[in-house]
């Protein structure tokens, strides 16, 4: 304390000495010399660094106290660390509290912070009523939306031999079920499992309708296999297999070399010449309305196809190329042949230029010669 006061006194003394008045001596020589010294001292003072702040007396005294007790600050930090560890052990969040809450050292006792309780939000009666109305409205919308999309009608299109009830029963769909719970893929597979049904589409028409569009496969021809008949449609799809199932109204196909027919599957492969020729022939006969006038088609030689009409006229088609033009000639010639009571013979449409008819030439009737009767031998 005394040393600091002595230092301040010396600084004040130097400042007084530097700024001493210059008119003490009356002599001009001493006066000029004193002025030069004062000017030199002022130049030195201007070059000295000026401190940013001048320490106050209290700060100086505080630093002096700290210098006298250097262990006091460290001791206080150690005590604060102990209090912090103690609070952590007891379960308090130390970061929520400032250093002031750790305790007053002068009091000699530590103060434990109280846990801040979470404040519950209080709703007014009006807010409660609004929230309750919103909840009831949401539940009502969900329930109403569920009942809004219940299946009410199942529409069937394209059925003629099957009734709508049969189609609905096969599909497994039913009314009263939610639209989103209807398995249309499973219904498609169930309908396609019937060889006589071809499903075009199954559509969900919101909010309450299911539309099923089908095509019924029609029996168009019977392939004569080894001991049984194979019923097919116009696309070559196998509808049924059995013994002698073909009736007189179906065109009978002979000469097919394919074996291993399977129900509800197409014939062979698309690269098979006999299969391609048969499907093309059926397609064109159906197009010209001749499918019911042909009783038999011979495909044993695919390059020389022949037909047999219900009247007994043999039509030679030949190769399957230009079959559309050849069947057109057949359609134009058959009515004239029937009008002339020509129910036999050969109609060749395989040549270019038109149809050629050759009537049948039955063998001439020859009477058998009478054989004379020999007389019976008589006994003697």
How does pLDDT run across 73-119, given as a tens digit for each residue?
Answer: 677 777 877 777 776 666 555 555 444 444 444 444 444 455 455 66
Query: What whole-number percentage of the chain has pLDDT above 90?
Result: 39
For residue range 309-351, list pLDDT tens digits in order. Answer: 998 999 999 998 899 999 999 999 999 888 877 778 999 999 8
Reported as type and span, the H/E element at residue 198 is strand 197-205
Count of helices and strands (H, E) across the chain: 9, 12
b (16+ CB within 10 A) / e for 123-133: eeeeeeeeeee
User: Cα–Cα distance between 350 and 345 in angstroms, integer?
Assistant: 15
Among 263, 251, 256, 179, smallest CA distance to 222 is for: 251
Supply the CATH classification number for the domain 221-358.
3.40.50.11690
Predicted confidence (pLDDT) at residue 352 exceeds the cutoff of 90: no
Confidence band of 245 (pLDDT split at 50, 70, 90) = low
Looking at residues 20-46, what average pLDDT do you find?
57
60 or 144, higher pLDDT: 144
DSSP state letter for 181 = G
Q: What is the CATH number of domain 148-216?
A: 3.10.20.310
- How do 238-242 and 229-232 pair as beta strands? antiparallel
| pLDDT, the chain, mean | 77
Q: Mean pLDDT highest for which of 130-134, 244-248, 307-311?
A: 307-311
From the CB of residue 193, how many other CB atoms can be counted at a distance below 10 Å?
A: 10
Q: Are 307 and 315 in contact (CB under 8 A)?
A: yes
| pLDDT for the residue numbered 290 | 94
**Residue 25: its pLDDT value, please?**
45
Q: What is the pLDDT of residues 278-296, one digit of tens each?
A: 999 999 999 999 999 999 9
Rounded-to-integer distance, Cα 243 and Cα 251, Å: 16
Contact between 213 and 200 (Cβ < 8 Å): yes
Residue 229 to residue 250: CA distance in whole angstroms: 11
Which residues touch 329 (CB under 8 Å, ≥6 apart)? 349, 354, 355
Q: Is residue 288 a contact partner of residue 331, using CB atoms and an 8 Å limit?
A: yes
Predicted pLDDT of residue 89? 63
d(CA 130, CA 136): 10
Beta bridge partners of 316: 306, 348
What is residue 84's predicted lDDT score, i.e. its pLDDT? 75
- 193 HSE (CA, 13 A, CB side): 10
Least confident of 23-32, 233-242, 243-252, 343-352: 23-32
Residue 154 has pLDDT above 80, yes or no: yes
- Break the chain into its structural domains and give their ranges: 1-68, 148-216, 221-358
Q: Could you tell me which residue, 55 or 141, shows the higher pLDDT?
A: 141
pLDDT band at 120 (very low <50, low <70, confident <90, very high): confident
**Is the pLDDT assigned to residue 24 strictly greater than 50?**
no
250 touches 219 (CB < 8 A): yes
Please return the burial class of 334, using the count of CB atoms within 10 Å of its CB with bins 0-12, 13-18 and 19+: buried
Q: pLDDT higher for 241 or 12?
A: 241
Q: Band of the pLDDT at 177, cuts 50, 70, 90?
A: very high
Helices assigned H by DSSP within the chain? 2-18, 28-47, 57-68, 71-90, 125-148, 164-171, 184-192, 273-287, 323-339
Encoded tokens for 27 = 């002599």
pTM over 0.75: no
């Amino acid at each position: 304390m005394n040393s600091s006061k002595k230092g301040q006194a010396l600084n004040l003394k130097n400042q007084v000495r530097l700024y001493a008045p210059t008119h003490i001596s009356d002599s001009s020589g001493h006066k000029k010399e004193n002025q030069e010294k004062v000017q030199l001292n002022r130049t030195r003072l201007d070059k000295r660094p000026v401190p940013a702040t001048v320490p106050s007396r209290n700060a100086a005294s505080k630093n002096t106290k700290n210098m006298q007790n250097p262990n006091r600050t460290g001791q206080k930090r150690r005590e604060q660390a102990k209090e912090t560890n103690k609070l952590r052990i007891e379960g308090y969040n130390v970061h929520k509290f400032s250093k002031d809450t750790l305790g007053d050292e002068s009091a000699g006792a530590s103060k434990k912070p109280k846990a801040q309780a979470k404040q519950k939000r209080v709703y007014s009666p009006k807010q409660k009523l609004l929230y309750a109305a919103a909840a009831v409205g949401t539940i009502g919308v969900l329930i109403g939306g569920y009942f809004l999309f219940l299946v009410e009608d199942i529409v069937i299109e394209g059925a003629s031999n099957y009734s709508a009830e049969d189609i609905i029963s096969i599909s497994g769909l039913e009314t009263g079920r939610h639209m989103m719970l209807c398995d249309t893929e499973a219904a498609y597979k169930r309908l396609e499992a019937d060889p006589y049904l071809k499903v075009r589409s199954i559509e969900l028409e919101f909010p309450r309708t299911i539309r099923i569009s089908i095509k019924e496969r029609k029996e168009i021809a019977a392939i004569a296999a080894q001991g049984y008949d194979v019923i097919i449609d116009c696309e070559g799809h196998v509808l049924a297999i059995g013994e002698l199932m073909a009736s007189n109204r179906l065109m009978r196909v002979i000469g097919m070399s394919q074996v291993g027919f399977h129900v509800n599957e197409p014939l062979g492969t698309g690269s098979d010449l006999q299969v391609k020729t048969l499907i093309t022939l059926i397609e064109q006969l159906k197009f010209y309305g001749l499918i019911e006038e042909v009783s038999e088609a011979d495909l044993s030689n695919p390059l020389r196809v022949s037909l047999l009409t219900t009247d007994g006229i043999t039509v030679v088609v030949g190769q399957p190329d230009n079959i559309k033009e050849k069947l057109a000639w057949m359609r134009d010639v058959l009515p004239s042949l029937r009008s002339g009571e020509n129910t036999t013979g050969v109609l060749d449409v395989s040549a270019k230029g038109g149809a050629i008819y050759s009537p049948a030439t039955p063998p001439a009737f020859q009477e058998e010669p009478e054989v004379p009767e020999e007389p019976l031998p008589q006994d003697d």
